Amino acid sequence: MQQRRAAQAGTAGPAATSDAPDIPVPSFPIPEPSRWALEVVGIAPVTPSVLRLRLAARPVAPAGSEAMPPPEGAELVYAPGQDLALSLPGPGDATINRRYTISDYDSSTSVVELEVVTHGDGPGARWITKTKVGDRVEAFGPRGKITVVEGASTHLFVGDEASFAAIAAIVRALPPSARAIVLADVADEQEHRRIEVPPEVVVEQHWLHRDGAPAESPERVLEALAAVELDPAESHAYVFGEFHVVSAARRQLGERLGAARTSPKPYWRAGRPNAGHGEPVRDE
């Protein structure tokens, strides 16, 4: 399936200097989100803990809008790394948002791919394990602002099973000659997956195994990160996954690269359900 990109990735910009802007500059435009009607057209296991979902996507006019509905077949335009917020059954009659990164999109069939972890007993895991071809769900998006960043030649990724779709989408969109380093903290060897990239992009994938250790313990990731040599003027880090691991990795990378060269995003929090808007709850 061809990945749909909002624009072609720019070439890596000039090496950063102390004059570099203090916010990461995205290589792709960040589009306005809108509502989508999704219909499940395929479900398949990817690893023991991840299911790939294929959904036909049709745009929906906003509720109460007097505007003409968007034309049938309008394309989903997104920046690599962006996600869709699915509106899923919550407690009682309520709905609850759960966000899943766009793993791929085929504009010729309007089919979007998501990869969903089946761990836990929340609304997302419950829905994905019960859903079948023909089921419908509404979504809002694309959401999120983290995508390929300009001005870096080395792109470092930290993540887990839930963030593999985001990491792979961003890595596949890197400009030629970029170097990607991926630290993936997963349950065990059965969760290993290869990221397919053009030959000009160098990807070093490092696997860390929890082997039964708690996912929220950051030690494995911090130790592996400390062993990675990074040139602060040429590197950008993207950190996704469990809340405590993201916080700890963000602190270490912030000290080494500076906050502007680190794009952190917690996806889930061990022992606590995400909030109704779809993000992990933060400490007061």
Ligand X SMILES: Cc1cc2nc3c(=O)[nH]c(=O)nc-3n(C[C@H](O)[C@H](O)[C@H](O)COP(=O)(O)OP(=O)(O)OC[C@H]3O[C@@H](n4cnc5c(N)ncnc54)[C@H](O)[C@@H]3O)c2cc1C
Binding stretches for ligand X (CB under 6 A) = 83, 98-101, 115-117, 119-125, 144, 162, 165, 265, 267-274, 278-279
Alpha-carbon gap, residue 204 to 183, rounded angstroms: 9
Shortest Å distance, C-beta 227 to ligand X: 25
CB of 143 to ligand X, least distance (A): 7
As measured in angstroms, the least distance from the Cβ of 266 to ligand X is: 7
Q: How far is the CB of 272 from ligand X (least distance, A)?
A: 6
Nearer CB in complex with ligand X: 1/74: 1
Name which of 115 and 191 has its Cβ closer to ligand X: 115
The CA–CA distances, whole Å, from 95 to 82, 87, 157 equal 22, 6, 32
Helix, strand, coil fractions of the chain, as percent rounded to 5? 15, 35, 50
Nearer to ligand X, 26 or 123 (CB): 123
For residues 209 and 256, which CB has a smaller minimum distance to ligand X in the complex? 209
Does residue 7 contact residue 28 with C-beta atoms inside 8 Å? yes
- Please report the DSSP string for 148-201 in residue order: -BSS-SEEEEEE-GGGHHHHHHHHHTPPTT-EEEEEEEESSGGG--PPP--TTS
